Structure 1
Amino acid sequence: MNIGCRIKKIAFLGNGHCSKIIFDNPVHIVHGASNTGKSLLIEAIDYMFGAEKLKPVLPESKNYKQVVMQVTLNGEEFTIFREWPSIKFEIYNGHIDTKIDSDFYGYFKHGQATNNVANISDFYLKGIRGAKVLSNLHGEKSSLTIRLLSRIILSSEEKIISTASPIVVGDRTEDTTNKNVFKFLLTGVDDSEIKLIVRKKEFTSENKGQKEALSYVIDSFKLDLIFPEENGDSLHERDKKLTISIDGLLEKIGYSQEALSEVVSEKKIISCELMDTSNRIDVIKVNLANFKTLNSIYSCDIDRLNSQEEAAFLLSVGHSGQCDFCGETPKTVCNQLTNVKNLAQASLAEIEKIKSKKSELELTTHDLEKQLNILIAQHETLKKKLEHLDVETERRVPDLISEDSSLATLRKEKSSVQQDLCVHEKINAFNKRLQEIELTPVPKPYKSKDFYPEDESISDFCSIYSKILSEIKFPGEHKVDFDFKTFDVIIDDVPRHLNGKGVRAILHSVFKVALLMHCRSKGLYHPGIVILDSPLVTYRDPLNSKLGKLSTDEKELAQTKISYHFLNFLYKIRDQGQFIIVENIDIPTSFKDSIGIDTFYGKNATVGQRKGLL
């Protein structure tokens, strides 16, 4: 459980003087005569909880310049030093009497935090930083601070007898904030998620600004129109007609492209055939040239072989093979004559072969010449066809170019129309938004009941309040209801504020104690400390007290032992928090050994008795 804050000691230092009170018991009472510094004690504790100023009212105050408070915060011990006056808090680790640099924890300040120095709330509220509470019914929020929680912690004598709710005491402009602090403690749920509602003046100004901005945007869009004289309906009709025209032209272009494609395809085929024919013609011409050369070679070979055969014949004619001198026939001569004869025969045989080949060559040449003539004729035919297709292509291309140009023109016009349609669509959307803004009513602020604590939490709180009344023997049936109009309790059908001062004071005190007990029972955050100034004023001296005579209900209460029962009850629940009570009345002697007591005797103090706070 988060035990919150406990005060261990508060001390006043200055000019060699030191005055202190040690709170060594969860329930501690400071009582005594008037003008002894009891109220200053309450104000000094508030000062150390972040109050802006501490106004010294006692003559002895001039001897003191600094307040020191030792606290235990969520189980950790700290000592807080603050000059008197000053916005600076100097905090050290541990409960110390002398500042040691090694124990320094950090500086904090009153008011707006700086880049390097946090507000004192950041120290006290480490466990719930960032919690937000509503400041007003427009949903504006402020951070939960120790100053807001000080209304839960501290109850001055003026506030404790006030007819105002124990939770909304203070400046009425802060009532909403105080109520929502109470709701936060009661439920554990802050107001971070509440949406902000714009105020009427801001709404009107914002509304006007939005309308001017939208009107400017609409006028800007109108300047972008290509056909400003045409409205949306006219443009839609024009767009439809353009679509039909474009579709028709696309179909026509399709036919034209298809026809041209056929011509181009045929032209490609004929070009290939023409090229093939040309290649074949070239090949035949080359072959004929080669054949002509070969034929010449054959003719030359025949002439040479004829000459060779005639020479051999002449050599052998009239030659007997005998020697003219001796008449004998040499063997060598016979061999040579045989060779000449064989050569003549071989030449004749070779001549016949060549003539056969020459004859075949002439037939082949004749066939090739016929093929060449046919191919030349085909080449001319193909050439004429290609020329015709070129003419046809040139005839069709301008028509297609014209159709493409018309299509581009139509498409450009359609694009412009569609652009204007898009602009008109934006203009219509902004006009709609402009009308919506003009028709939007001024938002109404939330109602107070929108932020009332849930019934279950209020019921639990009232139940605890009733049990406390029973425990302290408060007169009546202890029926407790909650009045959301006053944010206060109704006891036995009587609103708290209708009671006398003393009854209001004890009921205010019970309210603060019940809130602490509720938070503890639910495991919710609570500062963990309740400081009450004069909760038992019912027992005042009606002749000497500044509060005057007792009212009827106060007299009835004064006849009870409620002071004893109230203090006894606080002692019973001492494990739930710290209770510091400042009172003028005498304390029952039965408590002297169970609760902490400091007595200020004032001017009547004797030796060993404390005169006052300072």
Structure 2
Amino acid sequence: MAIGLKIEKILFLGDSKDSSISFNKPVHIVHGASNTGKSLLVEAIDYMLGAKELKQVEPESQNYNEIAMQIYLNSEPFTVFRKWPSLNFEVYHGLVDSKEGALFFNYFKHGKPTKDVNNITDFYLEEHKNTDILSNLYGEKSSLTIRLLSRVVLSSEEKIIQSNSPIIAGDTNENSKNKYVFKYLLTGKDDSHIETVVRKKEFKSENKGKVETLNDVVGKLKLNLTFPDETFECLTSRANKLDVSIDGLLEHIDFSREELSEIVESKKKVSLELINITDRVNSIKVNLVNFNTLKKLYLSDIERLKSQEESAFLLKVGHHGECDFCGNSSKRICQDLSNVKLLADASNAEIKKIQSKYIQLEKTTDVLEQQLVSFNLSVSELKARLKFLDDEVERRSPDLKSEDKMLTAMRKERSLIKFDLELQNHIRLFTKGLQEIQLTPVPKQYNSKDLYPESGAIDSFCQIYRDILLSIKFPGDNKVTFDYNDFDVVIDEKPRKLNGKGVRAILHSVFKIALLKHCRKHGLYHPGLVILDSPLVTYRDPLKSKHGKLKKDEAQLAETKVSYHFLNYLNENRHMGQFIIIENIDVPEPLRNVISVDTFYGENASLDERKGLL
């Protein structure tokens, strides 16, 4: 089963009485006399497709309070229930005759959806409900709805004979939308890419608001200017001069800092050298003090040793080891004298050693004293150098601080100037915007030609239309062109609207069928359902029909077998979708076995014949 909509059965439900029609075959004809409810059937289907209301038909409709329509939607079975009258729909899974025991699917409604209940379009067009369709030449858009598609699906008896286009035969307020629905079906492309054009009143209102806003912004920007009396060019010149001055000052400061850095580095080196030499001086002074103390010890030792040597000499003088009384030598005395001699010799030897050390210490002391003199001289020189460097740092620092302060002031001035330049640049841009707003012309709506369907799609549609005319053996050469002004076909250079009612009806019907075939051929979306009320009105009885006497072109068509070929064509193309035809004429006998027919016999119905819809 093709993607789209197929009606399986429609039921009129009442408390004590039900009535229904089943559509068993792809082509179904509801045939019968006038005033038997054939048009009510079309209106009831439209009601179940979301029409706001369905007029009561007295007294027959008094027995019914609800309508149900069994359908296949994209091959899935559903049954739609709607009270008569009501704005609400109840949808159940499957093909059911009653809600009792049925599996509920969802509620839907006519008009604006609520938080929890969607519009009926969301049920029928779930995959296409967000399709953007143009509403007018301003590029304003609305969504594709089942109500807009119903103009494609369904043609009432009143609309099928009208002179205006089959595709804009709906409400006058929606004629533009109907054109663009036709374009969408013909091309498969929606209108989401088309930009909306602002209307004149809204454009002027928006511009007025923009001008007021921009003027307010410009005024506030001017209040923030530091130099309000200076021009952009003057400030630019000042900024450039400041840039040059700042660059020069930065270069001088960098040079001064580099020199000062060298002085500070020299000061560090001198200070370190002074510290090292001072430490050396102090070390020498300590050593000299220690050496002088050692020299005194050496001298004291020499004096002691000399005294000791002199004492030994005195003891030995006049003694030769002999006793003064006996003249004999005593061993002990000899030994003592010998020891005294040894002591004297030892003292002399020690004195010589100490004197040698003393002489060496004297030499060392002289060297240290000479070094001390030299180091003291160096300390004086380093202190003088250090003072000079301190004075240089002290002298240069104020100049560097002054230059740094000057640099800060210049940078601040430049920053203020650049801030003003930025503000003035914004003021210029906004002022330019104000001028552009005032110079911008009121936008014009699109030209109709800009929004026409693509020529290739129109050519394909016209060719299919011609093929159908040839297939149903419509009189003439059947050359088909498209009139964009009327959004309708021209047959053999004669606009469709200039034909009689019956010819207009058959050509209206071919229009709807050609659109379905075009969509099927090119794999484009179409609901797959065409309902035509009185497409063969040409074959009416001019004495009994309310449409009156046949015009010349109708009479000529009535003499042909177009009615048979038309119905036969629908049967041969039943694979394209579902066709429901409402007619007063008799169905040709050869087609009664291949096309399902419901006949309403009206007041003359016998007991086994159906009187009417209800």
Task: Please name the residue that 1:134 is paired with.
Answer: 134
Verify the 8 A CA contact 1:214 1:430 in the aligned structure 2: yes
Residue 109 of structure 2 corresponds to 109
Q: 1:342 to 1:116 in 2, by over 3 A?
A: farther
Residue 271 of structure 2 corresponds to 271
Q: Could you give the per-residue CA deviations for residues 119-148 of structure 1, whole angstroms, max 9, x where no partner exists?
A: 111111123231111000000001011110
**1:102, distance to aligned residue in structure 2 (A):** 7.0
Question: Residues 37 and 58 of structure 1 are in contact (CA less than 8 Å); yes or no, is this contact kept in structure 2?
Answer: no
Deviations 1:183-231 (A, max 9, x none): 1101101101111110011111111111111111111111111111111
Distance in 2 of aligned mates of 1:264 and 1:79: 100
292 and 584 in structure 1: CA distance in 2 versus 1, 3 angstrom threshold: same
- CA change 1:307–1:54 in 2 (3 A) is farther
Output the CA distance in 1 between the equivalents of 2:61 and 2:235.
89
Match in the other structure for 2:509: 509
Contact 1:68 1:79 in 2 (8 A): yes
1:90 paired residue number: 90
- In 1: Cα distance, 2:418 partner to 2:290 partner: 74
Moved more, 400-409 or 10-19: 400-409
The residue aligned with 1:213 is: 213
Match of 1:175 in 2: 175
Task: Give a deviation string over 1:418-437, Cα, whole Å, max 9, x none.
Answer: 22122111111111111111
Structure 1 unaligned residues grouped into runs of 5+: none
SS at match of 2:167: coil
Query: Structure 1: how far apart are the matches of 2:336 and 2:196?
Result: 140
Amino acid at match of 2:90: E
Q: Which runs of 5+ in 2 are unaligned?
A: none
| More deviation, 313-322/438-447 | 313-322
Task: Output the CA distance in 2 between the equivalents of 1:332 and 1:155.
Answer: 174
Which amino acid letter does the alignment assign opposite residue 36 of structure 2? Answer: T
C-alpha deviation, 1:310, in angstroms: 5.9
Identify the residue that residue 235 of structure 1 maps to in structure 2.
235
In structure 2, what residue type is equivalent to 1:38?
Answer: K
Distance 2:379 2:390 in 1: 16
CA distance in 2, matches of 1:2, 1:308: 149
Contact 2:32 2:599 in 1 (8 A): yes
Match of 2:151 in 1: 151
Taking the aligned partners of 2:338 and 2:433, their CA distance within structure 1 comes to 130
Percent of pairs with identical residues: 60
Q: Secondary structure at the match of 1:72?
A: strand
Show CA shifts across 1:324-347 (max 9, x none). Answer: 9xx999999998887776555444
Task: Tell whether the 8 Å contact from 2:96 to 2:102 is kept in structure 1 after alignment.
Answer: no
Q: How far apart, CA to CA, are the structure 2 residues paired with 1:343 and 1:37?
A: 171
Tell me by how many angstroms 1:452 deviates.
Answer: 1.0
Q: Where does residue 496 of structure 1 map in the other structure? A: 496
Q: Which moved more, 1:79-88 or 1:529-538?
A: 79-88
Are the aligned partners of 2:2 and 2:577 in contact in 1 as well (CA < 8 Å)? no
Distance 1:464 1:310, change over 3 A: same
2:433 matches 1:443: no
Counterpart code for 1:24: N
For 2:362, give the aligned amino acid.
E
TM-superposed CA distance for 1:38, in Å, is 1.1
> 2:592 aligns to what?
592
Q: 1:477 to 1:293 in 2, by over 3 A?
A: same
CA deviations 1:548-573 (Å, max 9, x no partner) are: 11111111111112111111110000
Q: SS in structure 1 opposite 2:168?
A: coil
SS in 1 for 2:490: strand
Q: Is the 8 A contact 1:166 1:512 kept in 2?
A: yes
Structure 2: distance between partners of 1:316 and 1:161: 180
Q: Sort the Cα spacing of 1:120 and 1:328 in 2 relative to 1 into closer, same or farther, 3 A.
A: farther
Shift of 1:319: 8.8
Task: Measure the CA separation in 1 of the matches of 2:102 and 2:346.
Answer: 137
Separation in structure 1 between the aligned mates of residue 200 and residue 554 of structure 2, nearest angstrom: 48
Question: What letter is aligned with 1:461?
Answer: F
- Give 1:463's aligned amino acid: Q
Superposition pairs for residues 381-400 of structure 1, below 5 Å? 381-400=381-400
Q: For structure 1, which segment, 497-506 or 247-256, has the greater mean C-alpha deviation from structure 2 after superposition?
A: 247-256
User: CA, structure 1 residues 548+302, in 2 after alignment: closer, same or farther (shift >3 Å)?
Assistant: same
Letter of the structure 2 residue corresponding to residue 457 of structure 1: A
Q: How does 1:516-531 map to 2 (within 5 A)?
A: 516-531=516-531
- 1:471 aligned residue: 471
2:565 is the counterpart of 1:569: no
Q: In 1, Cα distance between the equivalents of 2:491 and 2:231?
A: 73
Cα distance in 2 for residues equivalent to 1:452 and 1:111: 29
The aligned counterpart of 2:74 is: 74
Task: Report deviation, 1:274.
Answer: 2.1
Distance 1:334 1:159, change over 3 A: farther
2:280 is matched with 280
SS in 2 for 1:126: coil
C-alpha separation in 1, matches of 2:334 and 2:100: 153
State yes or no: 1:32 paired with 2:32: yes
Question: Take 2:333 and 2:569, find their aligned partners in 1: how far apart are those partners?
Answer: 173
Provide closer, same or farther for how the CA distance between residues 2 and 356 of structure 1 changes in structure 2, counting only shifts above 3 A. farther
Structure 2 CA distance, aligned partners of 1:250 and 1:214? 41
Q: Which moved more, 1:258-267 or 1:412-421?
A: 258-267
Closer, same or farther: CA 559–299 of 1 in aligned 2, 3 Å:
same
Q: Distance in 2 between matches of 1:231 and 1:505?
A: 77
Distance in 1 of aligned mates of 2:137 and 2:6:
34
Contact 2:79/2:95 (CA < 8 Å) preserved in 1? yes
TM-score (ref. length: structure 1): 0.94
Q: Which shows bigger deviation, 452-461 or 332-341?
A: 332-341
Q: Which amino acid aligns with 1:495?
A: P
Secondary structure in structure 2 of the residue aligned to 1:130:
coil
CA deviation map 1:140-198 (0-9, x unaligned): 00101111000011000000000010001122221211111001101101101111110
SS at match of 1:475: coil
Task: Write the letter of the residue equivalent to 1:572.
Answer: E
Superimposed CA distance per residue, residues 326-385 of structure 1 (whole angstroms, 9 cap, x where no aligned partner):
x99999999888777655544432332222111111111122112112222222232233
Contact 1:3–1:576 under 8 Å retained in 2:
no
Alignment of 1:320-469 (within 5 A): 342=342, 344-469=344-469
**Cα offset, 1:10, TM superposition:** 0.6
Q: 1:397 to 1:25 in 2, by over 3 A?
A: same
Aligned residues: 614
Q: 1:490 to 1:304 in 2, by over 3 A?
A: same
What SS does the corresponding residue of 2:182 show, helix, strand or coil? helix
